[in-house]
Structure formats: C-alpha cells, structure tokens
Amino acid sequence: MLLYLTNDHQSDPYHQVEEGILKPNGIYRGLTYGHYLSEWLKMLHSDSPFYRGYPREICYLSGNYSFVYDKDTGKRKQSEEFQNKARNRDGTFRGLIVYQDTAIFVPVNCSFYSVGESHYYGGGVLQSIADCQFVCRRDINEGVSHYCTLQKKRHEEIDLNKHVYYYESPSFSLTVTENSPMRESIEMPIEPGTYDTFVAAYGIMLNASDDPEVKLPEGEYRIRYGNIGRAGYKSDSVQDLIVRPGSTVNHPTNEKQKFPIDEKLRNKILETLEPFEQKST
C-alpha cells in the first residue's frame, strides 16, 4: 500500500507543488509572509525589479502594473487589459526561466501606502503608519474577489485559491529609486525618496520547502492570478515559467570541501586552543 501511494505521488505533477507551498505561519529562510511582502515592494521600486536568476534569488511576480494618465480625464488607468508575461502572438516566450529550487512569490491582491502619500480615492495626505494601515485594510476588505491558478503544460489547471491567505507586513522603510522603471507604472506613482510604508495583501509563496527533496518538477508552467478590488480596481496577470533541472546552489561534493580552512591551519588551531571537552564536575 505504501508503494502504491509513493508511485501515485510521483505520477502526480502537482503533489510537489502543494507540498512546497509556504504555510500561513511558516518561515522560509528566517522570514515570514509579512516580511516577504516588504521585500517584494522594495524590489518593485528598485532600479532592477526583475528576476535575474542568481543563486538563492526569490522570484517575485509583480501583477498588472501598467498604469498611465488618461489624457481625457487626467485619472490613472491601466494601459493593458492584463499583464502578459507568457507568450507573444507569434508564440515567442515572454516568461521566466527558474531552477527547481527557486521560490516564487505571487502577490495575488495587494494594497500598499506610504506616510506622506496622497490617498487617490480619499483626497487627503496620509500622516502616519496608522493612516496607511487603515487605508490598506479597507482596500483589501472592500475588494470583491481574487483568484490564483497553476497549470503544468499538458496537464489540467489547478486552483490554488485555497492556499492564498491574507497577510500584513510590519511597517518598514521603502526606498524608491530615481531610476526605478516601475515607479511610474503603479496605480499611484510616488516620488524618489525613503518612506515609512505598510502592505496588506493576499498572497502565496510556491516552492518554499526546507526539504531539499520537495521541489518543482522540471517543465513548463503557467500561473494566472488577479483580483477585482475596491472602487472598480481590477488586475489580471499571466506568468509563464520554464523550470529547468538543477539547483541554484552548488553543494559540496566531498567532506574536504565542507571545511574552508586548510589542513595546516586547522591543526594549528587544534594545538593552540584548549580542546572542547566536557569537564566532569
């Protein structure tokens, strides 16, 4: 019976996916979901808000931030119906290539504000973190719905919504760089500088297990996520991923490589220092 279950899991392309989802109160690399919200927003406002594929890098998805000013009304509007990080019309790949142990952070429905920022819908200036928390929570609470799905190529799409939960970041300092390519594309642009900031969001983190045996099977995947929010806000995104075999980290192949100090220095240390032996009392 155990053999049957093991084989069944091996044949299920989504077993490893669901096993690797970070639990709501889970910790990955010492950080919680709340901390990853702040790290995600810092990345989004940086000079390079893109996944580059270096060792141990988190793959942060962004959502449909394609806002521009409407020439007729002067208000902000999305220039694209959905964020297409999947394919061009000719089939050209527009997605990301990740490793089997790359963690993927998906911001399904987010609201973030900073102290000193003008509240687009309320008309006032946010004076404190408490103001930011109130507005963010109201945005999320008055939202209509959200969704998140995953599909491996040539397999059925699965619904990940049951794994999507509500989180809040601690207040943190957000640095908006002058050369940030995303700064003018978010719904409410913010001037370069450093701000006290708060984030509230529904999100999910994939491939974040501490078990090295739990990792994404190689292949092609598509993530669809989005939401209908307060005051008619809407965001839809499609992200394609190619999961390549291998790891982002080169593990030592033998015991000698695990000890970085050369053998002569190691012996000198052992001769000089008192041995770490438990003394009887």
Angle CA(214)–CA(215)–CA(221) in degrees, nearest 5? 140
How many CB atoms neighbour CB 159 within 10 A? 11
- Judge contact between 66 and 79, C-beta under 8 A: yes
Instruction: Please say if the pLDDT value at position 31 is more than 50.
Output: yes
Q: What angle do CA 163, 167, 170 make, to 5 degrees?
A: 150
Tokens of residue 71, six digits: 């020439």
pTM: 0.82
Question: For residue 19, what pLDDT is reported?
Answer: 94
Please report the pLDDT score of residue 24 as a whole number: 96
The 3-state DSSP class for residue 232 equals helix
Residue in 230, 212, 244 with CA at minimum distance from that of residue 95: 244
Nearest to 247, CA basis, from 205, 218, 281: 218
Spatial separation of the C-alpha atoms in residues 213 and 217, rounded to whole Å: 11
**Could you give the CA distance from residue 68 to residue 78 in angstroms, rounded to a whole number?**
6
Q: Count the alpha carbons within 13 Å of 58 in the hemisphere toward its beta carbon.
A: 24
Please write the tens of the pLDDT for every residue from 201-217.
Answer: 999 999 999 888 888 89
Indicate the pairing of strand 96-99 with strand 172-176: unpaired
Residue 44 neighbours by CB under 8 Å, 6+ apart? 60, 62, 65, 182, 186
Could you state, in order of their start, the residue ranges of all structural domains in the chain? 13-251
pLDDT (average), residues 36-46: 95
Both structure tokens of 169 = 């970041």
Strand residues in 207-233 grouped as ranges (E) = 219-228
**Tens-digit pLDDT profile for residues 205-261:** 999 998 888 888 999 999 999 988 887 778 888 999 999 987 766 555 444 445 456
Specify the 3-state DSSP secondary structure of 242: strand
Share of the chain above pLDDT 70, in %: 84
Provide the pLDDT for residue 126. 92
Contacts of 72 (CB under 8 A, 6+ apart): none
